[in-house]
Amino acid sequence: MIFRVLFFVFVYIPVLIVVIPAQALINAFRLPFWNVLPRFFHRVGCIFLGLRVTVIGQPATGRATLLVSNHISWTDIIAIGSVADVTFVAKREVGEWFFVGMMARLQKTIFVDRTRRSDAGRTATEMGAHMAGGNAVLLFAEGQSDIGTHVLPFRSALVGAAQHAMIDAGARDVLIQPLTIAYVRLQGLPVGRTDRSLIAWIKSKSVRQNIREILGGPVKDVTVAFGVPRPLSETDNRKRVTKAAEDDVRAMLVSLNRGKSLPAKVA
**pLDDT score of 112:** 86
Residues of the chain with pLDDT > 70: what percent?
95
Residue 80, sorted as left (phi over 0), alpha (psi -120 to 50) or beta, turns out to be: alpha
pLDDT band per the 50, 70, 90 thresholds, residue 61: confident
**pLDDT score of 203:** 63
User: Following CA atoms 19, 103, 66, 43 in sequence, which dihedral angle do they give, to the nearest 10 degrees?
Assistant: 50
Question: Could you count the other beta carbons within 10 Å of the beta carbon of residue 160?
Answer: 18
Region 4-22 average pLDDT:
95
Task: Report d(CA 231, CA 167) in Å as an integer.
Answer: 13
Q: pLDDT tens, 87-112?
A: 999 888 888 888 899 999 999 999 98
**pLDDT score of 35:** 92
**pLDDT score of 265:** 45
**pLDDT score of 267:** 36
**pLDDT score of 123:** 83
Give the mean pLDDT of the chain.
88
Task: Report d(CA 68, CA 208) in Å as an integer.
Answer: 27
pLDDT band per the 50, 70, 90 thresholds, residue 266: very low
Q: pLDDT tens, 235-259?
A: 889 899 999 999 999 999 999 999 8
Kindly report the pTM of this predicted structure.
0.92
**pLDDT score of 205:** 66
**pLDDT score of 264:** 44
Task: Report d(CA 87, CA 159) in Å as an integer.
Answer: 15
pLDDT band per the 50, 70, 90 thresholds, residue 132: confident
Q: pLDDT tens, 177-228?
A: 999 999 999 989 999 877 887 788 766 667 778 788 888 888 999 999 999 9
